[in-house]
Amino acid sequence: MEKQATIKDIARTLKISTSTVSRALRDTHDVKQETRKAVMELAEQLNYQPNQLALHLLKKQTHTIGVIVPNLDFVISTMVKGIDEVALEAGYTVMVCQSNESYGREIVNTKRLMDSLVDGFIVSLSCDTMLVDHIKKIQDKNKPMVLFDRVTSALNAPKVILDNEEAGFLATQHLIEQGYKRIAILSGPKKLELSNNRMEGYLKALKQNNIKVDKDLIVYCDFNQDYAYFATKELLAMKRRPDAIFAIADKMAIGAMLAIKEKKLNMPNDIGLVGMNNDPSTRLVTPTISTVEMPAFELGKTAAKMFIEMMHSDKDMNDEQIVLRPKLIIRESSLKIVGSK
C-alpha cells in the first residue's frame, strides 16, 4: 500500500518548516505567495490529504453527535434512523450507544462519548435513570444537548416528545367506545415520566366516561414481553377479570396476547387489547393488534434538527419543547363494533 503523504514530506522536499507548510495550506497571511504556490503544487503532486480529525480539533468540532438510547428496539431504532438522516444531510456523523435500560451503563456511555470529543448529545433516558448529574455534566461543558422520547423535568434542556397523555387517552377511549367496562392497564415503571403520562391519559378517559378507577386493574411492568405475560395471567385469574387491556408498549401487548390465548379467550369478544408503538409484529399475529402509532422517524428527525439549530445558534433553547401527536390504529383485537373508526 502506498504511504500517505504528510506535511513533513512536503516540508522536507521544499526544505522549509512544517509550520510554514501548515500555514500555507491554511492560506494564512504570513506566508509568501511563491512559498504557498510551491506548497500547493507539491501537495497536489503527492496527493496530500489533510488529517480531518486534526482540522476538526483545531476548530474544536468533530462533526459527530453522541446518541444515547435505552435500547434499539423497533421504535427507538426508527427514531435513530431519523436522527441519522438529518445528521448526514448536515454533514454530521452519529455515534450510537445503548444503555440497555441501565443507569450505570448510561453513565459509562456518556463518559466514553465525551472522551470521543463528540460535539454534543441527543439522549433518551433509561428506565433506571433517577439522578441526572451525568447529563448535567454535558451542559456544564457547554455542549449542545437534546432530550427525546424519554425525558425528565429534572433537566432544563430542549425536548422532543410524543403527547403520551393523548396516546393513553386515545387507546382507553377507543376501548370504552367498543363497550368495554373493566379496562386494565399494563403500565411501565412508576419512575418513568413517559409511563406516568400514558397512565394519566388512561385515567382521564375513565373519568370522562364516569368509570370508577379500580386499582387492581393497574399493573406496573418493565417494558418486557415475559413480564407482561405473567402480569396478564394474574389479571385473568381475578374473580372479576378485566374485559379489556391497554398495554403501553406493543412488546407488552404481545405478552398479554399470549396469556389471553393460553386462557382460550376470544379477542375481541371476550376481551379487548390495545398496544402502543405500531410495531410490525402487531400486524402479523392473529388477531391483529390495535395500537397507538407514534411518529418515531419524525420524532428522531425533529430531535436532530433541534440539535443542529443549537450548534449554529447563540440563542438559549433550553425551554423549547416540541410535542408530536399520536394516531390510533384500530385492528381486530379490539374492534367489536363493525364500522367504528
Class of domain 164-294: alpha beta
* Same-fold call for 64-162+296-326 versus 164-294: yes
7-50: what fold? 434 Repressor (Amino-terminal Domain) (1.10.260)
Read off the C-alpha cell for 235.
389479571
Give the helix ranges, DSSP H, for 102-209: 103-115, 133-140, 164-177, 193-208
CATH architecture for segment(s) 64-162+296-326: 3-Layer(aba) Sandwich (3.40)
pLDDT value at position 1? 43
Cell of 42: 507539491
User: For the segment 40-57, what is each residue's pLDDT rounded down to a tens digit?
Assistant: 888 888 887 766 545 554
Angle between helices 164-177 and 193-208 (to 10 degrees): 40
- 222 pLDDT higher than 80: yes
This prediction has a pTM of 0.81
Q: Which residue has the cell 433518551?
A: 124
Phi-psi region of 91 (alpha: psi -120 to 50; beta: other; left: phi over 0): left
CA 312 to chain centre: 22
Closest CA to 252 of 217, 297, 282, 215: 282
Please give the distance of CA 199 from its chain centroid, rounded to a whole number.
Answer: 20
Q: How confident is the model at residue 24 (pLDDT cuts 50, 70, 90)?
A: confident
Tens digit of each residue's pLDDT (9 = 90 or more) over 163-173: 999 999 999 99
Stretch 17-40: mean pLDDT: 81
Sequence spans of domains, the chain: 7-50, 64-162+296-326, 164-294
Query: Rg for the chain (alpha carbons), in Å?
Result: 27
Give me the DSSP letters along 59-119: TT---EEEEEES---HHHHHHHHHHHHHHHHTT-EEEEEE-TT-HHHHHHHHHHHHHTT-S
Average pLDDT, the chain: 91
